[in-house]
Amino acid sequence: MTKRYDLIVFDWDGTVMDSTAVIATSIQSAARDLNLPIPSDEAARYVIGMGLAQALRHAVPAAPEEMHGALVERYKHYFLAQDQSIPLFAHAENTIRELQQQGYLLAIATGKSRAGLSRVLKTSGIEDCFIASRTADETHSKPHPAMLQEIMDELGVTPERTLMIGDTTHDLQMAINAGVDAIGVTHGAHPSAQLQALKPLALMDDFAQLREWLRVHA
């Protein structure tokens, strides 16, 4: 069967790794420690996928500029205490390894830092599956298209041969901005209705569904 895509790019948090709740509670705990207004669950989940500094500015807008450094450090304190125990979503590893074996180029575009992505890739067991990645401390944060554009340039793949998979509107809007097709997954940070409003090719509830869709359509 002729492939529709050569390159498949995954978001990480909330897409491949089940880290949404840990990120949201870490943001809330950091704000609480500094006696700042604690963002709601919805507000804390909304910023997942952005670079950390940008995410905290959005989630805790009352924080004065001079407190942003402390807010970042308190967030890291809570998140790093848990990140090595956060699991991948069910069937994520099998799906990703199957795609690799079928000859797709696989990459990651994430709001994590390079150090953070390197750490979780090593513990995930699937580091060898990905041949390229971009992080928020290396280029523009989502939804700017730079992450996708840089990955495509590095691998020599055109937008029409690239598919983005993510759990947030930031991921889907980045794909739109880069002229790339996108799939939304509903097991992460943003609700289905928000994802559907950006008209992805499809919405998938889990990796089992995603695997079947890719087998037929990718």
Q: Determine which one of 13, 83, 167, 181 is catalytic.
A: 13
Handedness of CA 58, 64, 66, 67 (dihedral sign): negative
Active site residue 11: yes
Query: What is the pairing mode between strands 132-135 and 7-10?
Result: unpaired
Active site residue 13: yes
Q: Quote the CA–CA distance of 182 and 103 in Å, as a whole number.
A: 19
Task: Name the residue with tokens 């150090």.
Answer: 115
Q: Determine which one of 6, 11, 83, 171 is catalytic.
A: 11
Structure tokens belonging to residue 4: 């529709």
Cβ within 8 Å of residue 216, ≥6 positions away? none
Positions marked catalytic: 11, 13
